[in-house]
Amino acid sequence: DQQVKQNSPSLSVQEGRISILNCDYTNSMFDYFLWYKKYPAEGPTFLISISSIKDKNEDGRFTVFLNKSAKHLSLHIVPSQPGDSAVYFCAASGSGGSNYKLTFGKGTLLTVNP
């Protein structure tokens, strides 16, 4: 049973426009959410995170929105750049504190066209 779902396997966006990557989760115990960027044959790189006590977190071009009632989060990238092309993974963890176990979605391949 997939507890973290990224229903779009791929997304193509024009340079300069907004990229919106979506993620849904089913486990109500998740209280911390992270987005990672991954290139082929490399490990994931942390991008941005959000705690369940917030509904928005912004870092430069990256903003993550959390809708707890809908169990949905999204990553907005504005403006999109060709260098943003990669696979983006949504991840979730629960109970905070020392529980660092992450559950990942299957990822969304973002392609930003020049």
Partner 1 sequence: GAVVSQHPSRVICKSGTSVKIECRSLDFQATTMFWYRQFPKQSLMLMATSNEGSKATYEQGVEKDKFLINHASLTLSTLTVTSAHPEDSSFYICSAVSSGAWDNEQFFGPGTRLTVL
Among 13, 23, 32, 35, binds partner 1 (CB under 8 A): 32
Nearer to partner 1, 18 or 39 (CB): 39
**Going residue by residue from 37 to 76, which x/- string records binding to partner 1, judged by CB under 8 A?**
----xxxxxx--x---------------------------
Question: How many residues of this chain interact with partner 1, rule: CB under 8 A?
Answer: 25
Amino acid at 98: S
In sequence order, what DSSP letters do the residues of 40-71 get, joined into one string?
TTS--EEEEEEETT-SEEEETTEEEEEETTTT
- Cis (ω within 30 of 0) for the bond into 9? no
What ranges make up the beta strands (E) of 1-114? Answer: 4-5, 10-14, 19-25, 30-38, 45-51, 56-59, 62-67, 72-77, 86-94, 103-104, 108-113
Candidate segments 13-21, 54-62, 68-76, 94-102, binder of partner 1 by CB under 8 A: 94-102
Among 13, 23, 34, 86, binds partner 1 (CB under 8 A): 34
Instruction: Give the binding site for partner 1 (CB under 8 A).
Output: 4, 9, 32, 34, 36, 41-46, 49, 89, 93, 96, 98-107
